[in-house]
Amino acid sequence: MTNTVIWTIAIITVLGVLLALVLFLVAKKFKVEEDPRIDEVEKVMPGANCGGCGFAGCRAFAEAAVKAPNLDNNYCPVGGNDVMAKVASILGYEVKAKAPQVAVVRCNGTCEARPRVNDYDGFASCLVKSTLYTGDTGCAYGCLGCGDCVAACQFGALSMDPATGLPVVDESKCTACGACAKACPKRIIELRPQGPRGLRVDEIRIFGAVPRLGADFRRGMGVDRAENDIGAGKHGEVGELLHHHFRKILRRRKE
């Protein structure tokens, strides 16, 4: 009986050592070498793993950045220009600074402007609600008010306003990761460049605020006159604040 136990233990021990050796040799032979810069890039990333960059997480972004020939198509909205400058320094690339963006809610259907016509009694989810009907107000394009965007935000930048029934963006906390925009089934949230003094660069609002620019464009006056009018201060403070944004906007409209 004793001999049997001893032999059993010995055989199992020998098999364990042999199998461990085989696994070690196989692992060494088929080892995949990883670029050490991936770890360096990951260390300077914010670690939010929000997916705002278009990748599954910061590690995936680091791998893509190392493999890419440049950083033109890679950008971390949470870390912004500071983080991208560090990434570029590690990889030996040049990176262009991008204007900060902010999430914008494109709905003014407040409780006062658009009263409810029914009461929804179901699972509190905009996605679920959108598959059932147009919403409490009967507006097929407006906010459904269940707060999927608020739940999707990892940075506490969104909250539901009980008075209006609409989400409110705290621009000081918004990282422009785009999670809220992806979570909205009605696509009423989008990312827009944040202009000077916190103004959002929105061509529709710009042309509405400065009608002369829209008129100049429609009459075929072109980009130069409209921009010169802004530079000359003919449109007051709005023109002064938004001067450096208009050339790109006007050209896009002209195209």
Place of tokens 């995936």: 60
d(C-alpha 185, C-alpha 199), whole Å? 26
pLDDT of residue 217: 42
The 10s digit of each residue's pLDDT in 166-182 is 999 999 899 999 999 99
pLDDT of residue 1: 63
The 10s digit of each residue's pLDDT in 115-131 is 888 888 889 999 999 99
Structure tokens at 30: 């088929």
Give 238's pLDDT tier (boundaries 50, 70, 90). Answer: very low
Structure tokens at 40: 């360096």
Average pLDDT of the residues of the chain: 80
Tell me which of 76 and 230 has the higher pLDDT: 76
Structure tokens at 12: 């199992």
d(C-alpha 201, C-alpha 242), whole Å? 8
pLDDT of residue 32: 75
0.75 exceeded by the pTM? Answer: no
pLDDT of residue 237: 45
Mean pLDDT of 52-80: 91
d(C-alpha 252, C-alpha 104), whole Å? 20
Task: Report whether pLDDT(143) > 70.
Answer: yes
